[in-house]
Amino acid sequence: MNDTVAESIAKIVCDKPEGITCEECFSKSSGKICENYGHCRILEKTKSQLDYVVAPTDRNIFLKACAGSGKTEVVGLKAAYEIKQWNNKHSGIAFLSFTNDATNVIRERVKEFSNIEKIYPHFIGTLSSFIHGYIVQPFAYNIIEYNGKNRDFSLSIIDENTKVYQDHWLNHFKCKIPFISIKGNRNDIFANQIGYNIIKKDFYIKLNNSFYWLKDYYRKETVQSHINRKRSEYPEYWTESYFRKCFVECKKDFWKHGYVTFDDINILASKVLMSEFGECIAKRFPLIIIDECQDLSDNELHVIHILKKLGCNIHFIGDLNQSIYEFKMVEPKNIEAFTSDFEQYTLDNNFRSCTEIVCLSNKLINRRTECRKSNDIFNDKSLIYVEYEKPIEAVEKYNRILKKLKCENWNNRILVKQNSLRKILVNNTNDEISSQEPLIVASQLWKEKTPNNMTLSLELAGKQISRWFGGGSSPKNYYRPDTISSTFAWRIYLMNILNEIGKDEKLSRLDVTYGEWHRQARERLNSILLKYYRILVYYDDIKDRNIDNLVNGNFRVSSGNSNKKIMNNEKPLSLNIPVLTIHGSKGCTFDTTLVISSSTKASDGGHWKEHWLMGNDEQKRIGYVAFTRAKYLLVLGLPVLSDKDRLIIESYNFVQGEKILDM
């Protein structure tokens, strides 16, 4: 029966001739993707996978897919299958996910399976680009009464973290209601810091990396104290409804001038869909397939809900156990409720991980998943834990284990919960050297051209160079001086300098002492800084800055380093294994992983015991995502354990790393 379904799919997707089997088709293939893989890629699919590929398009379906079940591969095959037999030139299917990487995989699979490159009238892309491109941008200006500029009605997306000191025009969109801190200090609230949750029907404020629901904020003691003082002057004001009114007015004015935040786009999409334009959009895309549906925010889910009411059929593909975006208002229970009347399909075979990793993940989320591949290369050594006093020690032990098991050249990754820990590990330098010699460290990291190292390199270079421009305080904008208005221009400036240092015969040498490097820098660095300053000056509020001698007298070798060779650091300047956050690793597959726990439970979901093994649902899901990225080997980096904690981690079949190294 499975062969019959596979052959019917192959007939449409691969143009398999009538009257021959998939095996016979494969044996006669020439230049096709299956030939390159050494087997028929359709015939290898399980019955559950193929059942979804041929599932009807006129029904609402939820494909529940566990980690490693090949769901993106299946979505790609489904896309090829439906696109190949689609016969309506005026409407199509929207295949959506949440990252460009994921949508690129789907697009590649369509090409591989069916050799189709032009997919119009269908759409393959991110959910946000779909909502923005097909719903908000063409129609929203009518809803918000935006008159456009020179007949251009495009909306400008403003990040919620944009500060007034960076973009002074934000002062025009200041809310009447102030923000009162815990200490009673008063700050302004701007339109880009205000959001609204459609499902909860409440406003929220995002300010300085903190989040406040309006209902909770209104009841704060300091806010009530402020209200009581104002109420004597304006008794009709300062109710909760007045707060809401002020937020609405502020946001509407923001929109009317053509500005929106990323979350505003979802609000506006809902308004457009409930207008006369909604039916047109629903007819344009009668079927919407969403991969990684567990990542849908409340507002995104509301948009999909309206599309469903307008007649769109919805296919959800995902794993609610991988929902780890609670801080972005992603609620798995809301998705579960939304899909309660959907037809249910299931993929519960893990093709990625070895038996021990699959068993661990099952134990973590109380779910039964079958291991379907013989990835048991290391058998009972597939789960290893190492202890550390400093996180870098876990990395060093991981490297030794990889060498011991002869897999140091495999596809290996280090995963952490906190971005701050990622930065420390990516740098992997002696902290003292990094703080004393940021530009030297930056120039070395820049050479490696990996995204992580380049980001850190820009931060370190900015930290050093900004000192000569008056100083900058935030690594988020590469320590851009306050007197320079454009972070983008500042970043380009730093990139140009790092590129020039890399090309400079003297400054690119690392077999010299710090003292010698500084002497060369004092002679050569000024000309490099000046070369690109004439571009940066257009974004500089201080036009008369004297930069003729920025470096001289200000750039000195740090104490005790003068005679030390740069290449002779005790630790390497960069990490040879990429470091990702757990959130950033979602959807990825690696041969081996080192997952490093935070040292305390105060890490907001990053502690091995308090969170990943014994925490709340969200925290356990973070652990589940982290543990299921590896195929063959999972190493867990833990802070030094008590005897009791060793018994706990070993009860999950983890083996002590030292025992492996001593073998």
The answer on pLDDT for 200 being more than 80 is: yes
* pLDDT bracket for residue 570 (50, 70, 90): very low
Q: Rounded to whole angstroms, what are the CA distances from 448 to 107, 431, 444, 455?
A: 30, 20, 7, 11
* pLDDT bracket for residue 511 (50, 70, 90): confident
280-314, pLDDT tens digit by residue?
Answer: 999 999 999 999 898 898 999 999 999 999 999 99
Q: Which pLDDT does position 291 carry in this prediction?
A: 92
| Percent of all residues in the chain with a pLDDT value above 90, rounded to a whole number | 30
Burial class (CB in 10 A: 0-12, 13-18, 19+), 4: exposed
Is residue 590 helix, strand or coil?
Answer: strand
Average pLDDT over residues 251-260: 93
Contacts of 644 (CB under 8 A, 6+ apart): none
* pLDDT bracket for residue 569 (50, 70, 90): very low
Q: Rounded to whole angstroms, what are the CA distances from 166 to 32, 170, 483?
A: 53, 9, 10
Least confident range of 28-42, 292-306, 359-373, 649-663? 28-42
Please indicate whether residue 372 or residue 246 has the higher confidence score (pLDDT): 246
Tokens of 209: 């990396």
* pLDDT bracket for residue 7 (50, 70, 90): confident
Burial class (CB in 10 A: 0-12, 13-18, 19+), 209: exposed
The answer on pLDDT for 484 being more than 90 is: no
Q: Which pLDDT does position 574 carry in this prediction?
A: 47
Q: Which of 551, 445, 469, 564 is nearest to 515 (CA)?
A: 564
44-89, pLDDT tens digit by residue?
Answer: 888 899 999 999 999 999 999 888 888 888 999 999 999 989 989 8
Backbone φ, ψ for residue 623 (5° rounding): -60, -40
d(CA 624, CA 364): 7
Please answer whether residues 294 and 318 qualify as being in contact, where contact means their C-beta atoms are separated by less than 8 angstroms: yes
* pLDDT bracket for residue 164 (50, 70, 90): low
Q: Which of 623, 653, 594, 657 is nearest to 411 (CA)?
A: 594
d(CA 29, CA 146): 56
The answer on pLDDT for 638 being more than 90 is: yes
Please answer whether residues 444 and 574 qualify as being in contact, where contact means their C-beta atoms are separated by less than 8 angstroms: yes
Burial class (CB in 10 A: 0-12, 13-18, 19+), 169: exposed
Q: Which pLDDT does position 571 carry in this prediction?
A: 46
* pLDDT bracket for residue 429 (50, 70, 90): very low
Please answer whether residues 353 and 372 qualify as being in contact, where contact means their C-beta atoms are separated by less than 8 angstroms: no
Please answer whether residues 451 and 439 qualify as being in contact, where contact means their C-beta atoms are separated by less than 8 angstroms: no
Residue 92 identity (one-letter amino acid): G
Q: Rounded to whole angstroms, what are the CA distances from 614 to 364, 415, 465, 618, 648?
A: 9, 19, 46, 11, 11
The answer on pLDDT for 273 being more than 50 is: yes
| Percent of all residues in the chain with a pLDDT value above 70, rounded to a whole number | 86
Least confident range of 446-450, 463-467, 559-563, 573-577? 573-577
The answer on pLDDT for 514 being more than 70 is: yes
Q: Which pLDDT does position 397 carry in this prediction?
A: 92
Q: Which pLDDT does position 153 carry in this prediction?
A: 87
d(CA 288, CA 563): 64
Measured in whole angstroms, the distance separating CA 293 from the mean position of its chain's CA atoms is: 15
d(CA 522, CA 532): 17
Average pLDDT over residues 22-49: 72
The answer on pLDDT for 430 being more than 60 is: no
Q: Give the orientation angle of helix 71-84 with respect to helix 2-13, to 10 degrees.
A: 60
d(CA 285, CA 663): 60
Least confident range of 75-79, 301-305, 355-359, 576-580? 576-580
Q: Which pLDDT does position 3 carry in this prediction?
A: 67
Q: Which pLDDT does position 31 carry in this prediction?
A: 47
Please answer whether residues 13 and 81 qualify as being in contact, where contact means their C-beta atoms are separated by less than 8 angstroms: yes
Please indicate whether residue 614 or residue 20 has the higher confidence score (pLDDT): 614
Q: Which pLDDT does position 427 carry in this prediction?
A: 59
Is residue 122 helix, strand or coil?
Answer: coil
* pLDDT bracket for residue 95 (50, 70, 90): very high
Helix H or strand E encompassing 187: strand 186-187
Q: Which pLDDT does position 586 carry in this prediction?
A: 82
* pLDDT bracket for residue 38 (50, 70, 90): low
Q: Which pLDDT does position 373 carry in this prediction?
A: 62
Q: Which pLDDT does position 535 carry in this prediction?
A: 78
* Other residues' Cβ atoms within 10 Å of the Cβ of residue 563: 10
* pLDDT bracket for residue 573 (50, 70, 90): very low
Average pLDDT over residues 23-51: 73
> What length is written for the chain?
663
Backbone φ, ψ for residue 41 (5° rounding): -75, -15
Average pLDDT, whole number, for the chain? 83
Contacts of 91 (CB under 8 A, 6+ apart): 121, 283, 284, 285, 286
Average pLDDT over residues 310-338: 84
d(CA 144, CA 258): 9
The answer on pLDDT for 124 being more than 50 is: yes
168-188, pLDDT tens digit by residue?
Answer: 778 889 998 888 877 777 788
The stretches of 55-136 forming alpha helices (DSSP H) are 71-84, 100-114, 127-130
Average pLDDT over residues 344-360: 88
Q: Rounded to whole angstroms, what are the CA distances from 276 to 128, 143, 310, 555?
A: 22, 11, 11, 64
The answer on pLDDT for 267 being more than 90 is: yes
Q: Which pLDDT does position 401 carry in this prediction?
A: 92
* pLDDT bracket for residue 558 (50, 70, 90): low
Contacts of 544 (CB under 8 A, 6+ apart): none
Q: Which of 101, 640, 629 is nearest to 391 (CA)?
A: 640
